[in-house]
Structure 1
């Protein structure tokens, strides 16, 4: 007789592992003047995803999946039949219990990384840093992406068609820090934008400093051979000599390439009259893309991460608005690229994601970015080599 098998679960489609809770207070259908909104709450079952909370916010055309257990990261977004995500070698979402952020190398963060949007911070957001004895001081990208949210609620306005998922996540350590991040993830019934509104407060009676970076990661099907980044910048430089090899085409992407080594570029973005910078990655045909807008008053820097590796190895590009460049924290602090917060003081960050599902939407984003360039008569200063004030270890 042939061997029979009964499958409990697989690694092929993680969504099959979600146990949706119809009895949850967050199981809502909201009728508004401009359309319907739905909110669903669930939890992943099995493997390293066991216990990870997921909240899905949706209108009639799109949905976005938020992970409260992973610092309010955005796991995936889908609009117009296009899934905005990337294929990480890490099969997630991974519960923070399985991510040893503070392992000696400082690279433990990578064991849980597969989201569309992961916040990096709050105390530090860059490369690992060790002291003179080799002890880890700051791990890669900080702790917030592996810190579960505490308070969670939903607010909505039927008149405007707006719904917000509200959460509070606390990064704290006795004698050292207490930073509270109050997050609002906002969607609307009549448009596909996803707004991230984060307020970070120093809740100690003494001054503190912080960093924040939004690691916004896009893979196939939008990213592919000859995909392009469009962003208005005043200055751009490679992070290191390896990235410098492609500085003349830093905003263009190769197809999946075996053995590709990541390249990173640092830039100073320009903002429109409302103080918002605008970046977009579009596919080679200009038929679809992802737009990112961010407030430069508190996110004054932009990082492009290019990892054009094979699909199985993590084919992905990262658009990263940030308070600083992701170097070791002490390097950035010495150059004034940390955020100082007095007792009770708050810093606010604003980022908007817009899925672009048509050629017309891509053209409109291109026009918006072109207008920023023209209004400010920008002449881009491109450094052919790493800048010593921007990159660690450069003489």
Structure 2
């Protein structure tokens, strides 16, 4: 049996994230994962054998204040939703902030332990509600195995007392930075090379997710197996796939963003139908894999991600 994963619950001292909680998980595969309970248990920095994968902006990993989500997307994954995603919008008397409200909420960590099989398991609950109106409850389960460089995320979201226009909206903002993102980065989607995604100009692109399992692989052309990332999501749960890039001399930022809804205004989107007793329930699952052991897409010619 491999050496079990190690799990520590910490509190940061000093800097912009002073006082914030941190859950650190390491395993025998060389994976190191920082979880952020004060940002709805989002992912902070993730390293494999010391090599970082996440983009972390100038503001670090501090929790965001309302209206500051554009300043606080640092970390490997920021949860956008579940009341709203993308740009701020006013709709039917309600105001919806940039990227929604859930990542502004602190998580109640219900359990964090190492299981008998050596894997680390963390479960947390996060609630966002409107006084006298709807509430969105997230139950998030994160599993990190003992001997594989991967992170499994399982989310269950319940919308209670929805009014006209309320929805469960989700967009998982996965933020990749240097050294993975650089002049020789190659992207494939469902095994097909995507030379249109790497490029020399900033931009945001949204398209229907491929049928079945959505698989996006981002790698370097230098043959370093440590610098390889793969995201898997189910298209029936997250039927849209959005990409975002910012170009910088050091390689910049490249985002892979599975989403529930197209990049359109709320007025143009069909409402969710209420479930039993007026509730709406949605489940989402992501699998993130890193470095060696990642199943490779078919070898084809690809185009590199170039700087300005």
Under TM normalisation by the shorter chain, which class is it?
Answer: 0.7 to 0.9
Distance 1:339 1:41, change over 3 A: farther
1:352 corresponds to: 287
Distance 1:55 1:339, change over 3 A: farther
2:83 corresponds to: 123
CA deviations 1:252-281 (Å, max 9, x no partner) are: 244xxxxx5x3011122224xxx4211011
Q: Is structure 2 residue 40 aligned with structure 1 residue 100?
A: no
Structure 2 Cα separation of the partners of residues 315 and 205 of structure 1: 39
Q: Is structure 2 residue 26 aligned with structure 1 residue 66?
A: no
2:305 corresponds to: none
Measured after TM superposition, the shift of residue 38 of structure 1 is 0.7
Structure 2 Cα separation of the partners of residues 286 and 125 of structure 1: 36
Report the TM-score when normalising by structure 1.
0.68
Structure 2 Cα separation of the partners of residues 128 and 206 of structure 1: 19
Bigger proportion of residues as helix: 1
Give the unaligned 5+ runs of structure 2: 301-308
Structure 2 Cα separation of the partners of residues 350 and 232 of structure 1: 17
Distance 1:154 1:339, change over 3 A: farther
1:51 corresponds to: 19
Structure 1 Cα separation of the partners of residues 18 and 274 of structure 2: 36
Q: Is structure 2 residue 144 aligned with structure 1 residue 198?
A: no
Structure 1 Cα separation of the partners of residues 197 and 184 of structure 2: 10
Structure 1 Cα separation of the partners of residues 272 and 24 of structure 2: 32
Structure 2 Cα separation of the partners of residues 327 and 307 of structure 1: 21
Distance 1:224 1:143, change over 3 A: same
Report the TM-score when normalising by structure 2.
0.86
1:147 corresponds to: 105
Does 1 or 2 have the higher relative contact order (CA < 8 Å, sep 6+)? 2
Distance 1:74 1:341, change over 3 A: farther
Q: Is structure 2 residue 258 aligned with structure 1 residue 308?
A: no
Measured after TM superposition, the shift of residue 341 of structure 1 is 4.5
Asked whether the 8 Å contact 2:7–2:114 carries over to 1, the reply is no
Q: Is structure 2 residue 297 aligned with structure 1 residue 366?
A: yes
Q: Is structure 2 residue 207 aligned with structure 1 residue 264?
A: no
Asked whether the 8 Å contact 1:155–1:166 carries over to 2, the reply is no
Aligned pair partner of 2:46 in 77, 86, 89? 77
Q: Is structure 2 residue 188 aligned with structure 1 residue 188?
A: no
Structure 1 Cα separation of the partners of residues 191 and 146 of structure 2: 32
Give the unaligned 5+ runs of structure 1: 1-32, 102-107, 235-247, 255-259, 371-395
Measured after TM superposition, the shift of residue 49 of structure 1 is 0.9
Measured after TM superposition, the shift of residue 310 of structure 1 is 3.7
Q: Which has the larger radius of gyration?
A: 1
Measured after TM superposition, the shift of residue 178 of structure 1 is 0.8
2:303 corresponds to: none
**Number of equivalences:** 293
CA deviations 1:121-156 (Å, max 9, x no partner) are: 010011111469xx9821210111111112431254
Structure 1 Cα separation of the partners of residues 11 and 83 of structure 2: 28
Measured after TM superposition, the shift of residue 190 of structure 1 is 1.9
